[in-house]
Amino acid sequence: MTDDGAGPAPVAGEVPASAASGDGHARFLADAAAHGIDVQVAERGRARSLEEAAANLGIEPRDIVKSLVVKHPDGSFLFALIPGDRQISWPKLRGLLGVNRLSMPPADVALAATGYERGTITPLGSSTPWPVWADASISGRISLGAGAHGLSAFVDASELLAALGATIADISEPA
């Protein structure tokens, strides 16, 4: 915990011992470094819900950004980054992409598309660098998946979105 009780005190560049051998986490860290993104990793333990993960980290659910894998009708994929207290707005995203149909792929397809299991997915270190669409409400210091179960990464949203070349748009609605 930090001195102010705000949750685990992540340390830049420090990899928790429990994650040191994780291939997904190593890819995440390597890609963040390659993009010049300052990442702080925190061990939060397994969580049964986003709300539980936020409580473990001492942050609000809105400060966790979900990395959702979305399947495009042409067979490709994209990442949709959505604040934890919101959900993807399918009509908005379909309209922006000019398509009639989008879907969330099954877990095995998402794993094949990104190299990450559900619950660990992040655009950083994805086995394929799919386009990133980020909700316009994402800002400040955020937490997102770090490529391994039980870990979260803290980053500056502007730095992350710029490094990923994210398209920023209104793609969410209240949960």
User: What's residue 136's pLDDT?
Assistant: 98
pLDDT value at 8 more than 50? no
Selection from 17, 19, 18, 175 nearest residue 89 by Cα = 175
User: What is the rounded CA–CA span in Å between residue 37 and residue 28?
Assistant: 11
User: What's residue 45's pLDDT?
Assistant: 86
User: What is the rounded CA–CA span in Å between residue 130 and residue 78?
Assistant: 5
Query: Taking a C-beta distance cutoff of 8 angstroms, is the pair 62, 83 a contact?
Result: yes
Predicted confidence band of residue 46 (pLDDT cuts 50, 70, 90): confident
User: What's residue 37's pLDDT?
Assistant: 97
* Residue in the structure block whose two tokens are 């399947």: 71
User: What is the rounded CA–CA span in Å between residue 75 and residue 88?
Assistant: 20
User: What's residue 2's pLDDT?
Assistant: 36
User: What's residue 96's pLDDT?
Assistant: 98
User: What's residue 162's pLDDT?
Assistant: 98
Predicted confidence band of residue 105 (pLDDT cuts 50, 70, 90): very high
Predicted confidence band of residue 137 (pLDDT cuts 50, 70, 90): very high
Strand 167-169 versus strand 132-135 pairing type: parallel
Selection from 67, 80, 69, 52 nearest residue 150 by Cα = 52
Portion of the chain with pLDDT greater than 90, in percent: 85
Selection from 124, 127, 119 nearest residue 148 by Cα = 119
Q: Residue 96: in which H helix or E strand, if any?
A: helix 90-97
3-state secondary structure of 173: strand
* Residue in the structure block whose two tokens are 């990464």: 153
